[in-house]
Structure 1
Amino acid sequence: MIRDDIKAALITAMKGGDKATTATLRLVQSAIKNRDIEARTGKAPDDDDALVVEVLQKMVKQRRESIEMFVKGGRQELADGEAAEVAVIERFLPTQMDEAATAAAIEAIKAELGAVGMKDMGRVMAELKARHATTLDMSKASAAVKAALS
């Protein structure tokens, strides 16, 4: 499980004296713990790894947005710190589908559902998320689905 991998990496980083990695992994564990608390009241994903991947993807997205803002603001040292955190977090994410694999998955779902136009986008996106949520950036997939259906 990804959760166990993160815990083991945190212990290794602490023993190795890697302060930056230790701090990032503690942030990750905190975010996962917060998501666990939220999941108590709402619908939790059936798979624990799916929950953890969802949290990690959100953290990476937030940091990429921060990097962009820091670069625009001329704060390269802060952007470098965020980039280092992204590198640590991405170690625990499953490999993402490339564009060709994403297109193939979209076409397969489109054919299976008989989707022909934009009115079917919601159904296609729901099925895509159900099957490939952990290995796909859904914001990029949305644009790909829109292109495939238009």
Structure 2
Amino acid sequence: MSPLKQHLADTIITSMKAREIERVKVLRNVHAVIKQIEIDRRIELEDADVLDVLQKQLKQRQESLTIFTENDRKDLAVKEQFEINIINEFMPKQMDDSEIAALVSSEIAAQGATSMRDMGAVMGELKKKTAGRADPGLISKLVRDALQG
């Protein structure tokens, strides 16, 4: 079992013992998604794959949070924010915008990328280097801006 999955399982047990029912629900939901992917693909997920799953879970909840906030559904927005906070506990420290911009610039220079045709190769490398530590949408925007400008 990967260290991240083990940490998740241990946290579920600790939360159950502390009778943190809402927290356990969120953690079990995330654990179930990971297990379902493992069953569907017939593989054991490594930490990088688990991070991808966590990132997708975060993205879904952030989209829901935005919708609930726009529609003045504070009760549902609070629930989504609670779930986001719990999932974020398992994510590595996020890179700040200046770190991401520097990494994008150095990767474009390292590959000698000059046009949008090179974007796929640049994004592939950046995805590996920033796994779980940066928003892929932001990285994509920065790469696109750098290659178009």
**Whole-angstrom CA distance in 2 between matches of 1:90 and 1:72:** 23
Matches within 5 A, 1:91-102: 91-102=89-100
**Whole-angstrom CA distance in 1 between matches of 2:75 and 2:130:** 35
TM-fit CA distance, 1:82: 0.8
TM-fit CA distance, 1:73: 2.1
- 1:9 paired residue number: 11
- 1:59 paired residue number: 57
TM-fit CA distance, 1:111: 1.2
Aligned pair partner of 1:146 in 138, 144, 147: 144
TM-fit CA distance, 1:2: 1.0
- 2:28 paired residue number: 26
TM-fit CA distance, 1:66: 0.6
**Whole-angstrom CA distance in 2 between matches of 1:80 and 1:139:** 24
**Whole-angstrom CA distance in 2 between matches of 1:133 and 1:83:** 22
TM-fit CA distance, 1:94: 0.6
- 1:78 paired residue number: 76
TM-fit CA distance, 1:74: 2.1
TM-score, scaled to structure 1 = 0.91
Amino acid at match of 1:118: M
**Whole-angstrom CA distance in 2 between matches of 1:74 and 1:132:** 34
Q: Secondary structure of the equivalent of 2:131?
A: helix
**Whole-angstrom CA distance in 2 between matches of 1:57 and 1:25:** 14
TM-fit CA distance, 1:49: 0.7
Amino acid at match of 1:37: I
RMSD across aligned positions (CA): 1.6
**Whole-angstrom CA distance in 1 between matches of 2:133 and 2:53:** 13
**Whole-angstrom CA distance in 2 between matches of 1:149 and 1:40:** 39
The 10-residue stretch of structure 1 (122-131 or 10-19) with the greater mean CA deviation from structure 2 = 122-131
Unaligned runs of 5+ in 1: none
TM-score, scaled to structure 2 = 0.91
TM-fit CA distance, 1:23: 0.4
Aligned residue pairs total 146
Unaligned runs of 5+ in 2: none
**Whole-angstrom CA distance in 1 between matches of 2:108 and 2:39:** 36
Q: Identify if the C-alpha distance between structure 1 residues 35 and 73 changes in structure 2 by more than 3 Å, giving closer, same or farther.
A: same
